[in-house]
Amino acid sequence: MRRRRAGLAALAASAMMFSLLPVAAASGAPTLAVAAGQVTTIPDWRLQTSRTATSGGNVYSDPSFNDSSWLPVAARSTVMAGLIANNKYADVNFGDNLKSVNRDDFSVPWWYRKSFTAQQPAGTNTFLKLKGGIIARAEVWVNGTKVAGTDTVIGAYPTREYNVTSLIRNGTNAIAIKAMPSDPTKDLLIHFVDWTQLPPDRNQGLFRDVQLANSGAVSLRDLRVSTDLPLPNLTTADVTVKVNARNDSGQAVSTQVTGTIDGLNFTQPVSLAAGETKTVTFNPGNTPGLRLTNPRVWWPFTMGGQPMYTADVSASVGGTVSDSASTTFGVREITSQRANGGGRQFIVNGKPFLVRGGGWASDLFLRTNLRNIQDQMNLVRSMNLNTIRLEGKPENDEFYDMADRLGIMVLTGWECCSAWEAYSSFNAEKNRVAGESAESEGKRIRNHPSVLGFLIASDLATPATQEKIYLDALARAEWNLPIIASASNKSSPQLGNSGMKMDGPYWWEPPVYWYNKQLGGAAGFASEIGPGPTIPEMDELKKFLTQSQITSLTNYNTSQYHLSPSGTFAKLSFWGTALDNRYGKPATVDDLVRKAQLANYETNRAQLEAYADNQSDSSNPSTGVIYWMLNDPWPKLFWHLYNYNLATAGSYFGAKTALRPLHVQYSYDDKSLSVVNTGLQNASGLSVQVTLFNADGTQKANETRQVSSTGNATVKAGTLPQPSGLSTTYFARLLLKDSSGKVVDRNVYWLSTKADTLNYNGSDWYFTPQSGYADLKGLNSLSAGSVNASASSTVEGENTRTTVTITGTGNQVAFFLRASVRKGTGGAEVLPQDWSDNYVTLWPGETLTLTATYRTADLGGAAPVVQLSGHNTQTRTITS
């Protein structure tokens, strides 16, 4: 995040494949798996502040210590997450309750403790594995012995492993971890910057798994698989499998390393001296079958399928399995280059890949709720957003597994505005932790086909010393994907210019802004831009704002706690000024919420359409855009496409409209029409029908143009008609039809004969001011529209699908119709619900069918009903 100055049916069902880990789930002492190759994850912990637990790790890691008075917390649980799960605070999402948390509670260390039982066979080795660092630093104790201290267990991301074989005893054992206070301005941790109010504990404690792994004399580590396609040919692929075999015994040993992929078996004998590690490699040179014929090639979901392979390997000593490892992988190849104009162009399997993604926010308290993450992934794919950017918050393994299966690309890297970019403060320790972090993350995610690249900096350029540290670390991880110097237009000595820009905006801009190639407009690769405030619907506002906070939204100069802690983004400010001038000053807060959906819809649609419109420009094409942001870490009023509770409003559906795979769209700058094709296949015999209507329903123009669409490209289809006599506010309806006349895409714009204008000379890092405003106030005086609507629901496995059919009646437009599924008449909205489309507009005689998919269990036993509302229609309830 740039800071220059202070200031769905099948997809939903797949969620059931994952366990749910949202809160504490205390268990008894688990039994350590004793079979070679097995791994036990610590399932939960007991938590206590060091103000109460004043003894040392030798006491708390003693198996006889009684921790029954300590708090039960989940396997992955920061201190705040644990306290919230144990109901220590009023709802921290509501109002300003988060302010009441005593920050001083987190100025001291906190203890985590867990007992487990073990029965170790002779010759078995046990390793304690930290899947990531412990925030901020930690002491680790096992059975009264200190295994590691704060001089080595540092940072959010380094993975660490300790041989604790000599410490494990048959019977009851215990592990204790002392997590130190967190300060992301000093250590390489996690920081939420100005995205939201900050967690009071600054994410102190555990947020990834702690595991105990067993093996015999030989252990296997770092299984990795790489693939090579002879592009542009996709008929063969070379697969290379590597794994490190380590002799953990005190004498020489011979082992047989065996593997299998897709029915192909391969093996190698390996001799290891005492304590020796060797990399065992299988490739087409020694295993001809690893040159695959007609491989199942993995693609981003907008371009193709997501077939996955599995590689299994094991090491045997004397005919007995000593250790085993497994990984999934996909056959794909990703590179990048600088396009004309300098933008970073990613290339997948030889095809240019236009990134249209969103910036991900982890849960504010780093809680792991796998069903929630799966639901978010489903919404992302349903929206046709093809990429997620992780700025400084690389997610847990399950996140990447989901992205692999759904074909959603992931662009990862470090964050801004914290110790990560305070390069002048890097000493020997920070340099070491930086390298460990990059190597650990590189090894952890390198096998995932969904990973697009690694940003070694966000807002700044990495100096030569740190650049070398990161590049060396990623080389040790055998990273074979693009490495980018920065998310802003910066250069580093070895990598050169990033090919990315971070020129804003971060607050309101009108639709026309996105088409100008200046600043954040559609040229090159914009790594984080967006129009700021995204006001949810009233149902959602009531879940996290007090009534007085809701009422205060009409005062644009009021600081809002659910905006940003940064003064720059603490008020609605000129977003409200633009709303008043364009749509008319809201009469009530309900009117504000209604108009906010219109503003959010039109500018979000324009941002993503503009970057698609310019992708085929030969001199300065748009190559990527990351919408800032995708989601909420905590309930808030800005920077999201869907909100904290996964409710979707104008922001989401404006984006979803723009991202349709075969799409007709309008350009606000030159009034041109375009057809965007994000697939790889051409589409011929298409036609674009464009119809203009005055606000009173009078048809002013109706034209049809023939067009053929090129795969993975944008083609022009003429310009918008310019008839005389247009009302100041008017409508344009675009219909894209196939050769049979079937409508394959539909797009409705509300436009003005008075254009939005911008003062680029007054631009600041986060916005360009408007000098003139489009006049869309005619929407306030639309005559009443009318529709007929019906709904039906069917159960499909664990989900319900509700179908809503809406027909325009009378003689006026029915504008901006929103359907929502409710838990019975008068009930709350079912969340999440995945709609095929929403906020739709109909003229008399037109019929649209919308579908929503959601979990049947989320109805809470009630019958589904549909609430249908509109800008100029009466709200009604439809039984389904």
Instruction: Average the pLDDT over 327-338 and give the result.
Output: 99
Calculate the CA dihedral of residues 588, 592, 594, 596 and round it to 10 degrees. Answer: 180
Domains belonging to the chain, first-starting first, are 31-213 (2.60.120.260), 218-329 (2.60.40.10), 662-759+774-781 (2.60.40.10), 786-879 (2.60.40.10)
pLDDT per position as a tens digit, 619-657 = 999 999 999 999 999 999 999 999 999 999 999 999 999
Give the residue-averaged pLDDT of 819-836: 98
Give helix 464-476 / helix 428-445 axis angle, nearest 10°.
40
Residue for token pair 């063969």 = 236
What stretch of H or E contains 443?
Answer: helix 428-445
264-316 pLDDT, tens digit per residue, is 999 999 999 999 999 999 999 999 999 999 999 999 999 999 999 999 999 99
Cβ neighbours for 544, distance < 8 A, ≥ 6 positions apart: 93, 94, 95, 562, 635, 644
Count CB-CB contacts under 10 A for residue 171: 10
For 122-126, 196-200, 584-588, 769-773, which range has the lowest pLDDT when averaged over its residues? 122-126
* pLDDT attached to residue 27: 66
Sheet with 309-317, edge to edge strand ranges: 264-272, 253-261, 309-317, 320-329
For the chain, give percent helix, strand, coil, nearest 5.
Answer: 20, 35, 45
Write down the pLDDT at residue 647: 99
Helix (H) or strand (E) holding 475: helix 464-476
pLDDT band at 34 (very low <50, low <70, confident <90, very high): low
pLDDT at position 574 is 97
Q: Are 575 and 533 in contact (CB under 8 A)?
A: yes
Residue 162, Cβ neighbours under 10 Å: how many? 17
Q: What angle do CA 214, 207, 471 make, to 5 degrees?
A: 80
Q: Are strands 39-41 and 847-855 parallel, antiparallel or unpaired?
A: unpaired
What is the spatial distance between Cα 408 and Cα 385, in angstroms, rounded to a whole number?
Answer: 8
C-alpha distances (whole Å) from 522 to each of 166, 341, 356, 505, 512 are 61, 12, 12, 12, 11
Instruction: Give residues with Cβ within 8 angstroms of 305, minimum separation 6.
Output: 296, 298, 299, 407
Clarify whether 436 is annotated catalytic. Answer: no
869/82 Cα distance (integer angstroms): 41
- pLDDT (0 to 100) of residue 342: 98
Which of the residues 363, 528, 537, 829 is marked catalytic? 528
Closest CA to 453 of 489, 409, 408, 403: 409
**Which pLDDT score, from 0 to 100, does residue 12 have?**
35
Q: Other C-beta atoms within 10 Å of 761: how many?
A: 8
Per the document, the length of the chain is 880
Distances (CA, A) of 750 to 298, 583, 693, 832: 40, 11, 10, 28
Mean per-residue pLDDT, 221-235: 98
Active-site choice (139, 209, 459, 509): 459
pLDDT of residue 5: 35
Pairing of strands 622-627, 524-529: parallel
**pLDDT tens string 102-156:** 999 999 999 999 999 998 888 899 999 999 879 999 999 999 999 999 999 999 9
Span 441-451, average pLDDT: 98
Average pLDDT on 707-720 reads 98
Task: Give the global pTM.
Answer: 0.96
State how far the Cα of 864 lies from the Cα of 206, in Å rounded to an integer: 40
> Is 738 annotated in the active site?
no
Q: How confident is the model at residue 482 (pLDDT cuts 50, 70, 90)?
A: very high
Nearest-angstrom CA–CA distance, 718 and 733: 15
The model's confidence at residue 36, banded by pLDDT at 50, 70 and 90, is confident
Model confidence over 800-810: pLDDT tens digits? 999 999 999 99
Does residue 677 contact residue 662 with C-beta atoms inside 8 Å?
yes
- Is residue 479 scored above 60 in pLDDT? yes
Instruction: Quickly count: other Cβ atoms within 10 Å of residue 823's Cβ.
Output: 18
Using CB atoms within 10 A of its CB, is residue 87 exposed (0-12), middle (13-18) or buried (19+)? exposed
Rounded Cα distance between 219 and 141, Å, is: 23
Output the average pLDDT for the chain: 96
